[in-house]
Amino acid sequence: MATVPQVPEHNWRATLIRTPLGWALSLAIAALGLYLLVAHTGHVLSALPYLLLIACPLMHLFMHGGHGHSHREHDRT
Protein backbone atom coordinates (compact mmCIF):
# COMPACT_ATOMS: atom_id res chain seq x y z
CA MET A 1 0.00 0.00 0.00
CA ALA A 2 1.54 3.27 -1.12
CA THR A 3 1.41 6.31 1.10
CA VAL A 4 0.76 9.78 -0.23
CA PRO A 5 3.28 12.38 0.98
CA GLN A 6 1.73 15.09 3.11
CA VAL A 7 1.85 18.56 1.57
CA PRO A 8 2.40 21.27 4.20
CA GLU A 9 -0.30 23.92 4.38
CA HIS A 10 0.76 27.41 3.34
CA ASN A 11 -1.99 29.58 4.70
CA TRP A 12 -2.00 32.30 7.34
CA ARG A 13 -3.58 30.08 10.02
CA ALA A 14 -0.93 27.40 9.81
CA THR A 15 1.82 30.01 9.74
CA LEU A 16 0.41 31.91 12.74
CA ILE A 17 0.15 28.82 14.93
CA ARG A 18 3.87 28.12 14.58
CA THR A 19 4.96 31.57 15.78
CA PRO A 20 5.31 33.02 19.28
CA LEU A 21 2.71 35.62 18.32
CA GLY A 22 0.25 32.84 17.53
CA TRP A 23 0.86 31.20 20.89
CA ALA A 24 0.43 34.53 22.69
CA LEU A 25 -2.81 35.29 20.85
CA SER A 26 -4.15 31.81 21.60
CA LEU A 27 -3.29 32.16 25.28
CA ALA A 28 -4.87 35.64 25.47
CA ILE A 29 -8.08 34.45 23.79
CA ALA A 30 -8.26 31.45 26.12
CA ALA A 31 -7.75 33.68 29.18
CA LEU A 32 -10.43 36.12 28.01
CA GLY A 33 -12.83 33.26 27.37
CA LEU A 34 -12.22 31.84 30.83
CA TYR A 35 -12.74 35.27 32.41
CA LEU A 36 -16.02 35.73 30.53
CA LEU A 37 -17.22 32.31 31.57
CA VAL A 38 -16.33 32.75 35.24
CA ALA A 39 -17.29 36.38 35.79
CA HIS A 40 -20.28 36.62 33.45
CA THR A 41 -21.77 33.12 33.37
CA GLY A 42 -25.35 34.38 33.21
CA HIS A 43 -24.66 36.65 30.28
CA VAL A 44 -22.78 33.94 28.39
CA LEU A 45 -25.54 31.38 28.92
CA SER A 46 -28.27 33.83 27.88
CA ALA A 47 -26.37 34.70 24.67
CA LEU A 48 -25.65 31.07 23.76
CA PRO A 49 -28.73 30.51 21.52
CA TYR A 50 -27.92 33.65 19.54
CA LEU A 51 -24.27 32.65 19.20
CA LEU A 52 -25.31 29.29 17.79
CA LEU A 53 -27.63 30.97 15.29
CA ILE A 54 -24.95 33.39 14.10
CA ALA A 55 -22.35 30.60 13.89
CA CYS A 56 -24.07 28.96 10.90
CA PRO A 57 -23.76 31.85 8.42
CA LEU A 58 -20.31 32.77 9.72
CA MET A 59 -19.02 29.24 9.20
CA HIS A 60 -20.50 29.23 5.72
CA LEU A 61 -18.78 32.50 4.85
CA PHE A 62 -15.36 31.80 6.31
CA MET A 63 -15.05 28.04 5.84
CA HIS A 64 -16.51 27.65 2.36
CA GLY A 65 -13.11 28.13 0.69
CA GLY A 66 -11.92 24.74 1.90
CA HIS A 67 -14.16 22.79 -0.48
CA GLY A 68 -12.17 23.49 -3.61
CA HIS A 69 -14.72 26.00 -4.91
CA SER A 70 -12.18 28.67 -5.71
CA HIS A 71 -12.35 30.27 -9.13
CA ARG A 72 -8.59 30.01 -9.62
CA GLU A 73 -8.71 26.21 -9.82
CA HIS A 74 -11.54 26.40 -12.34
CA ASP A 75 -9.68 28.88 -14.56
CA ARG A 76 -6.60 26.64 -14.82
CA THR A 77 -8.44 23.80 -16.58
Question: For residue range 21-35, what is the model confidence (pLDDT) as tens digits?
Answer: 989 999 999 999 999
pLDDT over 80 (residue 39): yes
| String of DSSP letters for 50-76 | HHHHHHHHHHHHHHGGGGS--HHHHHH
Of 5, 21, 1, 3, residue with least CA distance to 13: 21
Phi-psi region at 61: left, alpha or beta (left = phi > 0; alpha = psi -120 to 50):
alpha
pLDDT over 70 (residue 77): no
Provide mean pLDDT across the span 48-77.
74
Instruction: Please give the model's pTM, rounded to 2 decimal places.
Output: 0.52
